[in-house]
Amino acid sequence: MNSDLQNLIELEKVDRETARLTDEVAALPKRIAEIEHKLSDAKAQVEQAKNGIRMQDSRRRQHESEIQSLQSKISKFRDQSLDVKTNEQYKALMHEIQFAEQEIRKNEDKILEIMEGNELLERQVKATESELKTQSASVEKEKSDARTLTEQDEKKLGELKADRLRLREGISEGALATYDRVSRARKTGLAEARSQLCGACHVMLRPQTWNDLKSGEKLITCESCGRILYYDPTHEPPPPAETPKKKSKKKVETEVAESEAVTAPSETEYPAR
């Protein structure tokens, strides 16, 4: 195979792996950001539940303060009832006491509801904090793995850069210029040809072009997409198996007649009596 073509094949492998690793390294910061965002969502859920508990505690204290105020009123009304002069005044004070007692019961019911709600929120906080702890460990591991992968990719990219320079130095200027030009336009500069077709654009090659390509003596480009073509005989499909030719009817009859003549008994073997 042409030495330029051999080096170009290796060069494209290096360029493809370089592009893959470069994309992977570029994607890792985004991946880490997604991981951290997932963790921040869990933290936000915990904080939201804690804020809910604090708000409910504030409401509970308001109701407790209201109950104390109502109890003070009831005590004041009872003291006043001892000094009333008329039945109407006494009834009015009793009515105020009953109303205050009803308001106390309403506030007590609300406090009970708040306490029940807080129990639910506290269970939610406990469960979320436990999940957050597990997620934090998982996130730290993912971030560590991402950093390790980045380091490995960057090290490999350095090695590929050296390989790329070495390979490019071993390729003639004309072949390298063609490869660079087509790579910029087509993303890939080479294409393997199989069964007389360009592996990239699938256009049929001319018979002479196909024969020249199989000889591997010179660089050949696809007339359609411009990529540099190469041929790998190990990828060529095996030739079809030969099928036995069908015998003609006349030939079969002749063979049968000859076979019967050989096996038939002669007069010398069985003399007439």
pLDDT in tens, the chain (273 residues): 688 899 999 999 999 999 999 998 888 888 888 877 877 877 888 888 888 888 989 999 999 999 999 999 999 988 888 888 889 988 998 999 999 999 999 999 999 998 988 888 888 888 878 877 887 888 788 888 888 888 999 999 999 999 999 999 999 999 999 999 999 998 899 999 998 999 999 999 999 999 999 988 889 999 999 999 999 888 876 666 666 665 555 665 666 566 665 555 544 444 444
Give the residue range(s) of CATH 1.10.287.1490 domains in the chain.
11-169
Are 216 and 2 in contact by the 8 Å Cβ rule? The answer is yes
Cβ partners under 8 Å of residue 125, min gap 6: 46, 49, 50, 53
- Pair type for strands 228-230 and 190-194: parallel
Instruction: For the chain, state the CA radius of gyration.
Output: 47
Whether pTM > 0.75 for this model: the answer is: no
Q: What count of other Cβ atoms lies within 10 Å of the Cβ of residue 152?
A: 13
Instruction: Round to the nearest angstrom and report the end-to-end CA distance of the chain.
Output: 83
Are 146 and 31 in contact by the 8 Å Cβ rule? The answer is yes
Joined tokens for residue 194: 């199989």
Candidates 1.10.287.1490, 1.10.150.650, 3.40.140.10, 1.10.10.10; correct CATH number of 11-169? 1.10.287.1490
Q: State whether residue 197 is helix, strand or coil.
A: strand
Among positive and negative, which fits the CA dihedral 80, 82, 87, 91?
positive
How many Å apart are CA 231 and CA 22, to the nearest integer?
29
